[in-house]
């Protein structure tokens, strides 16, 4: 399996399994099946509401001798109501407990949007903390504490713009090892990917298949369906592959890591096999023409009236 070498020398398997929307009662079996297929990288988060079941599945796979802990790469994230230096270690402790792990391979700040403690999803402006009173550098100091305590190997961020990465870089003792953002042919973000490469920051592509199982309130009418794109389908036909395999192979060909989510044994296998698909120059050129800056997870849900955040401040 292709890996990304991160700062600190750790190697992250390039293809992983996403677990958002993998429901309790389903996610455990998906994780067990994924381990059997060969997945070693699992992308988790407490806000997905399924870390306990993921933890049970991982420990069962280890106990059954299907995999060793040191062969796994487990990522989790700090939710928005746990920003602030003093809140990071307790939140991480809960995640480690749920996942039944002694350490995480990678811990990410999920969004650069501090919320009041106990608020899962903000419904009104006062659910957010004033960004000036809850600086990201303070949260990052807590992430650095986690490295110092050996609770995590690498730390990084998610949904950060280049400007936010630069601000953080100016103040950080430990540089972010990874940026996880939405990336697919409709949102190639070439400049951001190049910037990360120039800074030695590994990039992980989320929603690489177009996230069509997102909750309805996060979907837009008439949104383009990536898996049905005619160019993606024709590249797939040229290689006797599936559209999903082309999308995964495209992310790997760009040197990013990629974490498609599936709960279906057939599609888990199909997505994993994409690591063997090599796209050629013509494929990459055809796919490059699809870029249209389209976000499926657009962050509009953080930007309601009175919120301190706007789409412009979020994505820069
Ligand atoms: P994806 O783009 O991975 O799409 C998932 C959807 O594609 C599901 O409906 C799945 O259905 C379907 N699917 C999977 N494989 C195939 C296939 N081979 N053919 C056809 N359909 C397929 O969406 P996500 O938004 O879930 O992104 C992936 C992961 O990225 C998340 O699970 C999460 O771990 C991470 N993420 C992180 C975010 C962040 O803020 N940091 C935000 C969003 C995602 P089925 O399960 O039935 O196969």
pLDDT bucket at 1, cuts 50 / 70 / 90 = confident
- Angstrom distance (rounded) from CA 156 to CA 107: 6
CA of 314 to the centre of ligand 1 (A): 22
- Is the distance from CB of 99 to CB of 58 less than 8 angstroms? yes
Q: How confident is the model at residue 314 (pLDDT cuts 50, 70, 90)?
A: very high
Query: H or E stretch including 56?
Result: helix 51-63
Count other Cβ atoms within 10 Å, centred on residue 242: 20
Span from the CA of 208 to the centroid of ligand 1 (angstroms) = 7
Active site residue 48: yes
**What's the rounded Cα separation, in Å, for the pair 150 and 104?**
9
Whole-number mean pLDDT of the chain?
Answer: 97
Hey, CA dihedral for 104, 108, 113, 114, is it positive or negative? positive
- Looking at residue 160, its pLDDT comes to 98
CA distances from 235 to 222, 249, 277 (A): 24, 11, 11
Using a 6 Å cutoff on CB, does residue 76 contact ligand 1? no
In ligand 1, the atom with minimum distance to the C-alpha of 227 is 20
Ligand 1 atom 27 nearest Cα: 207
Of all helices (H) and strands (E), which one includes residue 271? helix 265-273
Tens digits of per-residue pLDDT, 160-211? 999 999 999 989 999 999 999 999 999 999 999 999 999 999 999 999 999 9
What whole-number distance in Å separates Cα of residue 119 and Cα of residue 133?
A: 17
Ligand 1 centroid to 112 CA: how many Å? 22
Cα 260 to ligand 1 centroid, rounded to whole Å: 5
Establish whether residue 50 lines the binding site of ligand 1, counting it when its CB lies within 6 angstroms of any ligand atom: no
- Give CA–CA dist 303/291, Å, rounded: 24
Rounded distance between C-alpha atoms, residue 297 and residue 181, angstroms: 10
For residue 23, the Cα-to-chain-centroid distance in whole angstroms is 17
pLDDT surpassing 90 at residue 109: yes
Please give the distance, rounded to the nearest whole angstrom, from the Cα atom of residue 262 to the centre of ligand 1. Answer: 6
Region for 313 from its dihedrals, namely left if φ exceeds 0, alpha if ψ lies in -120 to 50, beta otherwise? alpha
Q: What percent of the chain has pLDDT over 90?
A: 96
Query: Residue 131 — pLDDT band, cuts 50, 70, 90?
Result: confident
Check residue 89 and give its pLDDT: 98
User: Which residue is closest in CA terms to ligand 1's atom 8?
Assistant: 213
Rounded-to-integer distance, Cα 298 and Cα 80, Å: 17
Answer yes or no: is the C-beta of 18 below 6 A from any ligand 1 atom: yes
**Tokens 């190049």 appear where?**
194
At 144, list the tokens: 């650095």
Q: Please give the average per-residue pLDDT across 86-110, as a whole number.
A: 98
Given 48, 186, 206, 296, the catalytic residue: 48
Whether the per-residue pLDDT at 133 is higher than 90: the answer is no
Q: Does position 241 have pLDDT exceeding 90, yes or no?
A: yes
270 ligand 1 Cβ < 6 A? yes
**Which pairing describes strands 11-13 and 3-5: parallel, antiparallel, or unpaired?**
antiparallel
User: Do residues 168 and 282 make contact, with C-beta atoms less than 8 angstroms apart?
Assistant: no
* pLDDT on residue 132: 84
Ligand 1 atom with minimal separation from the 264 CA: 48
Q: Is 80 in the pocket of ligand 1 (CB under 6 A)?
A: no
Give per-residue pLDDT as tens, 36-95: 999 999 999 999 999 999 999 999 999 999 999 999 999 999 999 999 999 999 999 999
Alpha helices in 117-262 (DSSP H): 136-148, 162-171, 190-198, 230-238, 243-253
Return the ligand 1 atom nearest residue 43 CA: 34
- What is the model's pLDDT at position 193? 98
What pLDDT sits at residue 170?
87
DSSP one-letter code for 185: T
Task: Give the DSSP per-residue string, 133-166.
Answer: TS-HHHHHHHHHHHHHTTSEEEEEEES--HHHHH
Atom of ligand 1 nearest to the CA of 245: 18
What pLDDT is attached to residue 26? 96
Q: What share of the chain is helix, strand, coil (3-state, %, to 5)?
A: 45, 15, 40
Q: Could you read off the pLDDT of 150-161 as tens digits, one per residue?
A: 999 999 999 999
CA-nearest residue for atom 10, ligand 1, is: 262
What pTM did the predictor assign? Answer: 0.98
Q: How confident is the model over 114-131, as a mean pLDDT?
A: 94
């Amino acid at each position: 399996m292709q890996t990304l070498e991160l700062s600190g020398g750790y190697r992250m398997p390039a293809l992983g399994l996403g677990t958002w929307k993998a429901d309790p009662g389903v996610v455990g079996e998906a994780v067990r099946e994924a381990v059997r297929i060969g997945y070693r990288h699992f992308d988790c988060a407490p806000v997905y509401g399924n870390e306990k079941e993921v933890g049970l599945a991982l420990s069962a796979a280890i106990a059954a001798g299907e995999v060793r802990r040191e062969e796994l790469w487990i990522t989790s994230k700090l939710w928005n109501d746990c920003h602030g230096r003093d809140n990071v270690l307790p939140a991480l402790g809960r995640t480690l407990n749920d996942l039944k792990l002694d350490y995480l391979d990678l811990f990410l700040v999920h969004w650069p949007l501090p919320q009041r403690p106990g608020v899962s999803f903000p419904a009104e402006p006062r659910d957010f903390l004033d960004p000036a009173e809850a600086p990201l550098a303070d949260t990052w100091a807590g992430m650095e504490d986690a490295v110092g305590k050996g609770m995590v190997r690498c730390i990084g961020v998610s949904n950060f713009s280049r400007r936010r990465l630069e601000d953080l870089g100016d103040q950080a003792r430990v540089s972010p090892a990874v940026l996880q953002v939405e990336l697919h042919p409709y949102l190639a973000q070439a400049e951001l990917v190049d910037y990360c490469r120039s800074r030695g920051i590994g990039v992980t592509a989320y929603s690489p298949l177009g996230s069509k199982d997102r909750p309805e309130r996060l979907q837009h009418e008439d949104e383009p369906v990536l898996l049905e794109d005619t160019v993606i389908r024709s590249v797939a036909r040229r290689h006797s592959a599936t559209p999903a395999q082309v999308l995964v192979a495209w992310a790997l060909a760009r040197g990013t890591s990629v974490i498609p989510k599936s709960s279906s044994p057939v599609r888990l296998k199909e997505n994993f096999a994409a690591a063997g698909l090599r796209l050629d120059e013509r494929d990459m050129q055809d796919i490059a023409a699809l870029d249209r800056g389209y976000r499926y997870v657009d962050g509009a849900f953080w930007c309601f009236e009175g919120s301190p955040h706007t789409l412009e401040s979020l994505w820069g």
